């Protein structure tokens, strides 16, 4: 093995290994119905997104923060008169979101099976600790991973730290994920490959420009193409 060979592959979880955003969208649709007497759906969604953006710094990523943002939005949109019954329903739909089924994406199982043992595999995800642990357990994918990192944010520092601890440094690592902002751009900034696997539903706060000029940027249509890419990179 050349001293520059890749040894470590990081995988994002939500909407890379399993479906996630679609459940948030369903919950949001339900939420707008609960407030239908007070405002139009798009207006509610807009205010909810603003609340989520504001609250990221306080609560981090995940369903608990999302639920609190829904409650905050309900209070705002009703000028403080939202009935307690509606708050209770918001808490219910937030809890339902914490128990949605885990549906793995195409080619995930085969790909991880083929790579495990040949590379160090690391799951790197944001979100609520309990929720991500539950999804990993239910996915049945846990045994493929050499390490699991549930982090509060994904920055170049995060990737440098994880790939140095688990692998042989960021230069010999690759990060695979559906978020340009969280998975790709910071991993490339850390010195790793960033392999973008677009998902048709990606949270608007995770969008940034594709770093098309970066030598270590790659894009594949689905995880089934990852092994061929690794062969090409040698």
Q: Which residues bind Mg ion (CB under 5 A)?
A: 12, 14-15, 178-179
Return the SS3 of 164. helix
Give min distance, CB of 222 to Mg ion, in A.
14
CB-nearer residue toward Mg ion: 67 or 178: 178
Q: How far is the CB of 186 from Mg ion (least distance, A)?
A: 13
Question: What are the φ/ψ torsions at residue 199 (nearest 5 degrees)?
Answer: -120, 140
- Nearer to Mg ion among residue 73 and residue 132 (C-beta): 132
C-alpha to C-alpha distances, 164 to 10, 117, 153, 173, 203, nearest whole angstrom: 12, 19, 17, 9, 29
8 Å CB contact between 14 and 100: no
Contact 166, 53 (CB under 8 A): no
Shorter beta-carbon distance to Mg ion: residue 5 or 129: 129
Question: Toward Mg ion, which CB reaches closer, 73 or 179?
Answer: 179
Nearer to Mg ion, 35 or 162 (CB): 162
Measured from the CB atom, the residue of 15 and 128 that comes closer to Mg ion is 15
CB of 128 to Mg ion, least distance (A): 14
CB of 179 to Mg ion, least distance (A): 5
User: What's the N-to-C CA distance of the chain in angstroms?
Assistant: 9
Question: Half-sphere exposure of 110 toward its Cβ, with a 13 Å CA cutoff?
Answer: 9
CB of 15 or CB of 131, closer to Mg ion: 15
In whole angstroms, the minimum distance from the beta carbon of 14 to Mg ion comes to 4
Least spacing, CB of residue 167 vs Mg ion, in Å: 20
Bridge partners, 195 (sequence order): 176, 218
Could you give the CA distance from residue 28 to residue 35 in angstroms, rounded to a whole number?
11
- Asked if 141 contacts 105 with a C-beta cutoff of 8 angstroms, the reply is no
Neighbour tally for 215: CB within 10 Å: 8
Q: Closest distance between Mg ion and the C-beta of residue 18, in Å?
A: 9
At 150, which helix (H) or strand (E)?
strand 147-150
* DSSP conformational letter for 106: T
């Amino acid at each position: 093995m050349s001293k520059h060979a890749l040894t470590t592959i990081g995988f994002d979880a939500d909407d890379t290994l399993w479906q996630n955003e679609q459940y948030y969208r369903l919950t949001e649709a339900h939420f707008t119905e609960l407030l239908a007497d007070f405002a139009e759906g798009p207006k509610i969604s807009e205010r909810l997104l603003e609340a989520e953006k504001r609250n990221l710094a306080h609560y981090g990523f995940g369903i608990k923060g999302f639920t609190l943002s829904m409650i905050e939005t309900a209070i705002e949109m009703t000028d403080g008169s939202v009935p307690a019954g509606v708050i209770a329903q918001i808490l219910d739909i937030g809890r339902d979101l914490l128990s949605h089924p885990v549906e793995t994406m195409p080619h995930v199982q085969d790909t991880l099976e083929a790579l495990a043992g040949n590379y160090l595999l690391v799951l790197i995800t944001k979100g609520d600790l309990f929720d991500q642990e539950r999804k990993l357990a239910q996915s049945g994918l846990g045994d493929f991973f050499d390490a699991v990192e549930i982090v509060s944010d994904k920055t170049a520092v995060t990737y440098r730290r994880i790939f140095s601890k688990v692998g042989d440094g960021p230069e010999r690592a690759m990060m695979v994920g559906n978020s340009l902002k969280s998975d790709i751009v910071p991993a490339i900034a850390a010195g790793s490959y960033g392999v973008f696997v677009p998902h048709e539903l990606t949270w608007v706060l995770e969008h940034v420009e594709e770093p098309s000029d970066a030598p270590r940027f790659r894009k594949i249509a689905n995880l089934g193409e990852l092994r061929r890419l690794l062969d090409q990179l040698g």
